[in-house]
Structure 1
Amino acid sequence: MVEVGLKYEIAFYGEVIKVDSIKGLYTFRIIELYKGKYNSQFITQKYTGTCSNIPSLKQLWIVYANFNDDKTIEVSGCSPSTGFRPYGSDSMPSPPDIKISQKIDDQIKSLSFYIWDLKFENRNLQDWIYQLEKLRTYKKTQKEISDKEKTATKLESYSVYIIISLIVNIVLLASLIFVILKKKNFAK
C-alpha cells in the first residue's frame, strides 16, 4: 500500500480537524509529512466527485493525495489513504453472514459480530502501524540521500575553492619571482 501511495504527490500522517460536507471541504492538520513540499501545518481536501475519499470522521488519517490547481488536495478513493478507524468508509467489509437456527440465541449472534469487529479493528491497527513505519523509513532514507547529496555538493564547492586558491597562489608566486628577477636585473 505504501509503494502505491508514494506514487501520489504528497503523503502525510494527519488529523481531520474540520469537516464541511456541504462545501465538500475537509481540513487536515499535518502531523508528519513524508513526501511532497508543503509549508503549512494545515491542508484542505476538496471533494471533486464520486472517486474522492470522504474523511467525514474527525480522526487520524494516513493520506496519499495529488494537488489541485488551487493548492487543495484530491484524496482519491483509489489511493490507499485510510482513517485510523475505517468505520463509515468504503474500506470496511460487511460483516459475515451468520446462519441462525432457532437454537442460537441473540447473545451469541451479538458476540460473533463483536468478535468480527475486534478482528477487523486489530487488522486495521496492524496495517496502520505497518504503513506508518514504512513511511517513516522512507522519509529517513530520503533524508539520508539528501544529506549525501549536500555533502557531495559541499565537497565539490571545496574542490572549486581549493583550485581557485591554488591558481591565485601560483599567480602571486609568479609575480613575486618576476619582481625579484627584475630587481636583480635592474641592480646589474
Structure 2
Amino acid sequence: MVETGLKYEIVFYGEVIKVDSIKRTYTFRIIELFKGKYNSQFITQKYLGNCSCIPSIKQLWIVYANFNDDKTIELSGCSPSTGFKPYGSDSMPPPPEIKISQKTDDQIKSLSFYAWDLKFENRNLQDWIYQLEKLRIYKSLENQKLEKEKTESKIEPYSKYIIISLIVNIVLFLVLIFVILKKKNFAK
C-alpha cells in the first residue's frame, strides 16, 4: 500500500480538524510530511465526486493525494489513504454470517458482531501503524540521500580546485627544475 501511495504527489500523516459538509471541504493539520512540498501546516481537501474519499470524522489519517489546480488536494477512494479508525459501510466489510439456532438469544448475536468489529478495528490499526512506520523509513532514507547529495555537491567543487592547484604546482615545479638545470648548464 505504501509503494502504491508514494506515486501520489503528497503524502502525510495528519488530523482532520475541520469538516464543512456544505462546501464539501475537509481541512487537515499536517503532523508529518513524508513526500511533496507544502509550506503550510494546514491543507484542504475538496470532495470532487466519484472516487473522492470523505474524511467526515475528525481523526488521524495517513493521506496519499494529488494536488488540484487551486492547491487543495483530492483524496481518492482508490488511494490507500486511511483513517486511524475504520468508519462507514464503505471501508468496513460486513460481519460474517452466523448460523444461530432458534434458542440463541440476541446477546450472543450482538457479542458476535461486536467481536467482529473489534477484529476489524484491530486489523485496521495494525495496517495503519505498519504504513506509518514504512513511511518514516522512506522519509529517513530520502533525507539520507539528500544529505549525501549535499555533501557530494559541497566536496565536488573543492575537488576541482584541488586538481587544478595540483596541476599548477606540477607545472611550476617543472619550470623550476627546468630553470635550475638551465643555470647548471649555463654555468659550465
Using structure 2 for the length normalisation, give the TM-score. Answer: 0.86
Deviation track 1:82-108 (CA, whole Å, cap 9, x = no partner) reads 000111262111122223321111111
Distance change (3 Å), C-alpha of 1:13 and 1:89: farther
Whole-Å separation in 1 of the counterparts to 2:73 and 2:116: 34
For 2:4, the aligned partner's letter is V
The root-mean-square deviation of aligned C-alpha atoms, in Å, is 2.2
Whole-Å separation in 2 of the counterparts to 1:118 and 1:87: 12
Aligned to 1:162: 162
Deviation track 1:56-81 (CA, whole Å, cap 9, x = no partner) reads 00000000000001000011010000
Unaligned runs of 5+ in 2: 177-188
Report the number of matched residues: 178
Q: Secondary structure, in 3 states, of the residue corresponding to 1:78?
A: coil
Q: Secondary structure, in 3 states, of the residue corresponding to 1:147?
A: helix
What percent of counterpart residues are identical? 82
For 2:88, the aligned partner's letter is G
Moved over 6 A (4+): 167-171
Aligned to 1:137: 137
Q: Secondary structure, in 3 states, of the residue corresponding to 1:125?
A: helix
Aligned to 1:42: 42
Whole-Å separation in 1 of the counterparts to 2:145 and 2:35: 14
Whole-Å separation in 2 of the counterparts to 1:169 and 1:117: 77
Q: Secondary structure, in 3 states, of the residue corresponding to 1:29?
A: strand
- The 8 Å contact of residues 54 and 89 in structure 1, kept in 2 or not, is answered as no
Give the C-alpha shift of residue 10 in structure 1: 0.6
